[in-house]
Amino acid sequence: MPKKPAKPHDEFFKATFGRLEIALDYVQKMLPAALVAELDTSKLTRVNGSYVSKTLQEYFSDLVFELPFKRQDLACNICLLFEHKSEVPTHPHLQLLRYILDGMEEQLKQKKKLSPIIPIIIYQGKKRWKVRDLSKYFGKSIPESLLRYLPRFDYHLTHVNALGDEVILALGKSLLVNALFMMKYIREPDFIIQHPQQIFIGLDEEGSPEDFFQVLLVYFVKNTELAPAQVREFIEILPKTLNKAAMSTYEKIIAEVKTQSDSLLAEERQRTARERQRAEEERQRAEEALQREEEERQRATAALQREEEALQREEEEHQRLNRLIYYLHDVMQLPVSNIAEMMGVEAQYVLELLKQGSAEG
């Protein structure tokens, strides 16, 4: 079973709405008619780059298009923003306000004439998204006199899951219809399997872009928990014009997954080998530390033993000296002064030793 991509819905959004024909179809059919009438839609162009800052990355990814007005020297930026989170944001205007500001600052940085930014949110979540005015964030009782100090702007929302099938079909045969149906039902694979003629409507006709069909199929296969047998059965029921391309695409997906799995397995083996090597090096360092500790203990023991031996020799020498003093005094009958001079000690030491010996005797 193919592994799900890290950001599957975001990737699909960019692969579909990033196509100029789909973006143009969306602008012409989904935006307010009064606005579309003012725009020269024949001159829609994709703008490289993004206005999404690091702060906004957790909320949106975007596609930016430039579109001039018909009757005046003015262009606007049509910004398609894909909402990442399945939860409906509580205060979307705050993120959008930051996005618009970042976009205009980027225009100035590139020394371009400031262009109005029209934020369009593409939302794929299941929860209902209710559009409200920014002033409503402050409660119902905000004084009219304060409204002039609030940012006043709107955004356009397309809640894909809330679009009725008849609404999508009413857009006519277009790649936008296929993209919206796939986005709407991606979490209901059984529906897609049972209604391929609806999801892939028009794609079996001559001249339909095969690469776009592949984008749809890859998104479907990689983001559902279907077993390979189920996928193959599904491919079999597709129109013959799509069947061959679908099987080829699926085999490529399987090959890609196998390559990724082999790569991940190789990386895991390398990681395990590195961990084992680090563990072995750590074990060796521990053994060397223990060995150094043991050698230090042995040196300390040897030093203590030498010290004890030196003390013992000193004590033996001391005893020998004392016995000799006793001998010179008791046997040789030599005076204390002579004994002290002969033995190289103080006469007082000789006297105290002899006194101690007499006491013990």
Angle formed by the axes of helices 8-17 and 210-222, to 10°? Answer: 170
Higher-confidence residue of 167 and 142: namely: 167
How confident is the model at residue 230, as a pLDDT? 87
pTM over 0.75: no
pLDDT digits (tens, 9 = 90+) for 171-207: 998 999 999 999 999 999 999 999 999 999 998 888 8
User: Which pLDDT score is estimated for 2?
Assistant: 47
- Cα of first residue to Cα of last residue in the chain, in angstroms, is 104
Task: Express each pLDDT in 267-321 by its tens digit.
Answer: 888 888 899 999 999 999 999 999 999 999 999 999 999 999 999 999 999 999 9
Higher pLDDT, 185 or 233: 185
Q: State the pLDDT at residue 260.
A: 65
Over 90: is that where the pLDDT of 140 sits? no
Sign for the pseudo-dihedral over CA of 56, 60, 65, 71: negative
Predicted local distance difference test score (pLDDT) of residue 16:
95
Residue 67: the pLDDT is 95
Rounded to whole angstroms, the Cα distance separating 235 from 193 reads 9
Q: Quick check: 159 pLDDT over 80?
A: yes
If pLDDT is split at 50, 70 and 90, which confidence band does 141 have?
confident
Handedness of CA 355, 356, 357, 358 (dihedral sign): positive
- Would you say residue 256 has pLDDT above 80? no
Domain boundaries, the chain: 8-134+145-162, 314-360
Q: Is the pLDDT of residue 4 over 60?
A: no
| pLDDT above 60: residue 6 | no
- Identify the pLDDT of residue 262: 67
User: How many residues are given for the chain?
Assistant: 361
- Mean pLDDT for all residues in the chain: 89
Looking at residue 191, its pLDDT comes to 94
Per residue in 32-75, pLDDT (tens digit) is 999 999 999 999 999 988 998 888 887 889 999 999 999 888 99
**pLDDT at residue 204 in the model:** 85
pLDDT for residue 95: 92
Buried b (16+ CB within 10 A) or exposed e, 52-62: beeebeebbbb
Neighbours of 344 (CB within 10 A): 7
In angstroms, the CA 174 to CA 30 distance is 13
In the block, tokens 């939302």 appear at: 123
Q: What is the pLDDT of residue 331?
A: 87
Q: What is the share, in percent, of the chain residues with pLDDT greater than 70?
A: 96
Whether 225 shows a pLDDT value over 70: the answer reads yes
pLDDT surpasses 80 at 7? no
